[in-house]
Amino acid sequence: MNIHKNDNVMVIAGNARGKTGKVLKIFRDEKRVIVEGVNIIKRHTRASQKNPQAGIIQKEAAISACNVMVICPKCNKPARVGYKNVLDSTSGKKHTMRVCRNCKEMF
């Protein structure tokens, strides 16, 4: 998956199409992500020691990772992500960096 935690993403399909937000959590096994402020559901909760106030709580639900695109930090547009191997000058090790397919910016 080319989506990481704290990435800014845009929803490209579904009921929340066009909304943007930050990735809060990733479920790699199910290929789903939780995006801040997107796909809000209402959950009825019972009072407990952890949650003393019972009632209806609104929270974000997971959406499929194929329905979001990473927003490039340079061009501020949703972009497909490529990969590039970069040699670190100090340690001499290779690192894989993500690259925006539109503007070729590494992030």
Residue 50 sits in a domain whose CATH number is 2.30.30.30
Q: What pLDDT is attached to residue 88?
A: 85
The answer to whether 60 and 42 have CB atoms below 8 angstroms apart is no
Each residue's pLDDT tens digit, 43-70: 999 999 998 999 999 999 999 999 999 9
CA angle 74, 80, 82 (to 5 degrees): 90
CA–CA distance, 6 with 99 (Å, rounded to integer): 17
If asked whether residues 62 and 93 sit together in one domain, one would say no
Within-domain flag for 1: no
Helix%, strand%, coil% for the chain, nearest 5: 5, 50, 50
Within-domain flag for 14: yes
Averaged pLDDT, 13-39: 96
CA–CA distance, 79 with 14 (Å, rounded to integer): 18
Structure pTM? 0.83
